[in-house]
Amino acid sequence: LAKTTQPISMDSYEGQEVNITCSHNNIATNDYITWYQQFPSQGPRFIIQGYKTKVTNEVASLFIPADRKSSTLSLPRVSLSDTAVYYCLVGDGTGTASKLTFGTGTRLQVTL
Amino acid sequence: NAGVTQTPKFRVLKTGQSMTLLCAQDMNHEYMYWYRQDPGMGLRLIHYSVGEGTTAKGEVPDGYNVSRLKKQNFLLGLESAAPSQTSVYFCASRDMYREPYEQYFGPGTRLTVT
């Protein structure tokens, strides 16, 4: 089972780039890496997913090194509304959910 | 298109009582999941289903049962509630084949067992 480790919390000022790293040393060959965002009293929301190298969408980038033992979520120019908990999830795409492992989450606080 | 809905939103139970949480999705997703989230913690998978009529155990299945009689519904049952089951319960669903493999989460059910 791919255990994930993330920093407990991070602080940033508005307008800065934020990088959150997740460690997943036991990632399996078929595993994808997915990041979710969660606001208080809400369910998590999908941000980005990748398998290797770099993935970019309209809200974030995901960097995955060649050994895939870690991944970094990059949020460009954060705003106050990005204050949330960010989770890293490792698992395969087959739906065998017993292999899904959510990280403990990183609480990001953005201030002016 | 409501996405994933959960019923009820809040519930208070006494120890030993039973209840069923309902999750419904209108996206024709094959996969459905039940998670619990304790205060300040991440999500832990309770049970999941890869299709109508199928269920499987996740990381923390003890004390819970599930059923998926219809593709759009996934029920989570607590037969004899315990204070340790006080938590927020989230349901999620996912398409089987479409990438990215994104889980769509419901708004959660806040359960307190006294």
Cis geometry, peptide bond prior to residue B8 (ω within 30 degrees of 0): yes
> Sign of the CA dihedral B25, B30, A71, B59?
positive
Is residue B73 within 8 A of residue B53, CB to CB? The reply is: no
Q: How far is CA B15 from CA A75, B38, B66, B81, B105, in A?
A: 44, 18, 20, 5, 28
Residues in chain B with CB shorter than 8 Å from the CB of A96 are: 50
Kind of pairing between the strands at B4-7 and A18-23: unpaired
Decide if B45 and A34 are in contact by the 8 Å CB cutoff. no
Query: Cα separation of B24 and B5, whole Å?
Result: 5
Residues in chain B with CB shorter than 8 Å from the CB of A97 are: 31, 33, 45, 48, 50, 56, 58
Q: How far is CA A71 from CA A47, A65, A90, in A?
A: 14, 7, 10
Token pair recorded at residue A99: 């292999």
Nearest CA in chain B to A101: B44
pLDDT digits (tens, 9 = 90+) for B17-34: 999 999 999 999 999 999
pLDDT at residue B8 tops 90: yes
Token pair recorded at residue B12: 């208070």
* Average pLDDT taken over every residue of chain B: 94
Tell me the count of A-B CB pairs closer than 8 A: 67
Expressed in angstroms, the distance from the first to the final Cα of chain B is 36
Q: Which pLDDT tens digits describe chain A residue by residue (112 residues)?
A: 568 899 999 999 999 999 999 999 988 888 899 999 999 999 999 999 999 989 999 999 999 999 999 999 999 999 999 999 999 998 876 656 656 767 789 999 999 9
Our CA-based measurement puts residue A3 at a distance from the nearest CA of chain B, in whole angstroms, of 12
Our CA-based measurement puts residue A77 at a distance from the nearest CA of chain B, in whole angstroms, of 24
Per the DSSP assignment, residues forming a β-bridge with B94 are: B31
Our CA-based measurement puts residue A93 at a distance from the nearest CA of chain B, in whole angstroms, of 6
pLDDT digits (tens, 9 = 90+) for B57-79: 998 999 999 999 999 999 999 99
Q: Which of B91, B85, B83 is nearest to B22 (CA)?
A: B91
Which three-class secondary structure string do you get for chain B?
CCCEEEECCEEEECCCCCEEEEEEECCCCCEEEEEEECCCCCEEEEEEEEECCEEEECCCCCCEEEECCCCCEEEEEECCCCHHHCEEEEEEEECCCCCCCCCEECCCEEEEEC
